Each structure stands twice: as C-alpha cells, then as structure tokens.
Amino acid sequence: MSATATAAVSRAAAAPFAIEEVEIEAPRAGEVLVEIAAAGFCHTDLTVNGGSFPTPFPVVLGHEGAGVVAAVGEGVTHVVAGDRVALSYDSCGSCPSCLVGRPYHCHAFFAHNFMASRGDGSTGISSHGEAVHSHFFGQSSFSSVAVVSARSVVVLPPDIPFELAAPLGCGIQTGTGTVLNALAPPAGSSLAVFGVGGVGLSAVMAARIVGASPIIAIDLSPARLELARELGATDTIDPGQEDVVEAIMRITGTGVDYAVEASGATVALRAAVDATGPGGTVALVGAPPGGVEVSLDVNMVLAKGRSIRAIVEGHSVPGVFIPRLVSFWRAGLLPLERLVRTFPLSAINEAAASAQRGDTIKPVLIPGS
C-alpha cells in the first residue's frame, strides 16, 4: 500500500528544510513501510543538507528513525505489521564484508547510504508528481511514513520509548560501538574522548561500562564537560583554557591507551595522536568536510607504535548491537534521556539551529506533534 506523509524535504544545498505533503510508495521486495514515531537529528544530516556530500536534491534525509511497521514487501520475514522497530544504516548483504558479518564495511556502503535511491536508481517518494530522493541510509526518516530497506530494520522491545530508541540507529551506536566493539579496552585502560556531543558522550558512557580509568573528556563547552562528568568522565579538559596534550600527559603520565576523536576537527585529531602513549590507538570517528587533510609527525607515530583506526557506525551490526544498547539503557547504564530533546517535525529548522549552536545534544523529531 502507498501512503501520504508529511516530510521535511531538502530542496537545495544549504536551503532550509521544507515541510511538505508527499506520496510514499508501497514497499517493494526487501522493503518495509514504517510509520515514523521519532527520528533523531544527526550531524550527518546537517552536513548533507549543507551540500558537502554528493547526495542528490531534492531529498528527504533522516537516518535515526523509529516507529511501527505498517506493511512489509515480498521476502521480508524478520518483521511483521505492528512490530515496533528502530532504523539504522543500510548495506548490500552480498559483498565479501557483508558475508562475513561486517556490514559497516560494505563495499557499497556509500551508494546504499548517501546516494538516496534504490539500487536501480528509483526513488520511493514523490511530491506533486516530482520525484524526491528517498532511502537515505536506507530510510529517509524525516517523514511521518518511510519506505525502508529491510536490512535497516531492527525489532524493538516494548519498554523503550521511541524518542530514546531512535538515536540508537546511528549516533549512539557509533559512540558506544567505537568503545565496546572496535576498541574493546580492558578494564583499567585510560581513554580520552575529543568532542563530547552525542557521539562523544556515548563513548564516555561506554568507557564507564567497560571500567576504563581515567576517562578524559575534551570539549570547548563547559556545559558539555559538566554533563560528561555526570555521565562517567573522571577528568575534563577545555582546549580554550589549557594545552590538551600537556593536560593529558599530566593526568596519565605517559599518555592515554585509547583516544576517540569525535569532533571532526583536525587540530583535535593531531592532539589525539600526540596524546596517546606507546602502543596507543586513536579511533577516528568525527568527519570534517570533504577534502580536509591533517599533518602528523610520522616518526613519532612510528617510534611509539601508535595506531589510527577509522571507525564506521561503531563497527556495529545493528540487529545484534541495538538490543544490547537497549539492555544497557534498561539497566541504567545508558541514560539516553540525558541527551535527548524532542521537537515537532514541523520545527526541524529550529532543531537544526539548536544542534548547530550546541544547545541540544541530540535533537529528536516527532512527526504529528
């Protein structure tokens, strides 16, 4: 069945989101029609809306959706109508990486997530007869209804509210997964997080879960540093007030075992590398604009055996990891409500501005409110 929906449409690079009535196609084979109850607003949505990626316009963005299954297409068996679901990134399911359980390294990751169309180039959204690009990260969830790749859909238990479940699909799983899945630090390891927005604060909470110590949070915002302490950071550093590398060396003596760079700032990446101790690892998570380069002291990287690892989606398999995150939330170890602020979908431009100013850690849009 097709559906009429209210969606936030990005019509041109850097243009405000436009609230429009659109038509959503019925789900094809391998697709699911979802009534969206909540959609997290991620920094990637801001970046793509700004024109920094080759995602085509007009397009409906949104890649942290949650809601209820309305219908399923042919061949979909892991969800049925009425299921509560979270939506995450898409993957092809057939490349060498997908076949060995690493969909975050899908050989077609960029096409499936950033090019906003089905594999055959078609789109599932139209507005007054005009095609609007869909399937952004398999979902395009800035809409009251979305036609979604089945590989993006994860069943949710009944107890977690949609507005808390939605950010699990990208930002929260990226931050927590970077620590829990990719780095997997032993208890007692030292760990620094550069940039404590939604991803960075999720990394701080995950570091507390694994028993890292010290956990050092670095940010220019005093309010975010205070929140980081409340969520598990043992130490905080404001780069505007002191030299980050010197401060980390003072706290640890020899540098941190692990660093998570979640800000996307090249100066922070250089500091993260310089602040790791012998054999230390830097997780590269934050994404600057395309074409940005960074310089490193190659000999100091070599001499100390430092590693730099690029982490995509927290190296998470959503169908496995999202239920694990829900269990952490249920146990009080992942207080998502401390990060989330809800906005009506109609106030998406206000949510975007709040995120850009840093006033809101994780905006979540609620269609129909």
In a domain, 321, yes or no: no
Q: At what angle do helices 266-274 and 244-252 cross, to 10 degrees?
A: 30
C-alpha to C-alpha distance for 32 and 51, rounded to whole angstroms:
28
* Domain, as residue range, for 203: 175-312
* Statement to judge: residues 162 and 186 lie in one domain: no
In a domain, 111, yes or no: yes
* Statement to judge: residues 210 and 293 lie in one domain: yes
C-alpha to C-alpha distance for 149 and 26, rounded to whole angstroms:
12
What pTM did the predictor assign? 0.96
Q: Bridge-partner residues for 7, per DSSP?
A: 20, 143
* Residue 192 DSSP class: E
* Statement to judge: residues 100 and 32 lie in one domain: yes
- Quote the number of domains for the chain: 2
* Statement to judge: residues 260 and 282 lie in one domain: yes
CATH number, residue 26: 3.90.180.10
C-alpha to C-alpha distance for 274 and 306, rounded to whole angstroms:
9
In a domain, 301, yes or no: yes
* Residue 261 DSSP class: E
Which of 13, 55, 61, 12 shows the shortest CA–CA distance to 41? 61
Give the start-end residues of each E strand in 41-138: 59-60, 65-72, 84-87, 125-127, 130-132
Walk along the chain (369 residues) and give the pLDDT tens digit of each residue: 678 999 999 999 999 999 999 999 999 999 999 999 999 999 999 999 999 899 999 999 999 999 999 999 999 999 999 999 999 999 999 999 999 999 999 999 999 999 999 999 999 999 999 999 999 999 999 999 999 999 999 999 999 999 999 999 999 999 999 999 999 999 999 999 999 999 999 999 999 999 999 999 999 999 999 999 999 999 999 999 999 999 999 999 999 999 999 999 999 999 999 999 999 999 999 988 778 889 999 999 999 999 999 999 999 999 999 999 999 999 999 999 999 999 999 999 999 999 999 899 999 999 987
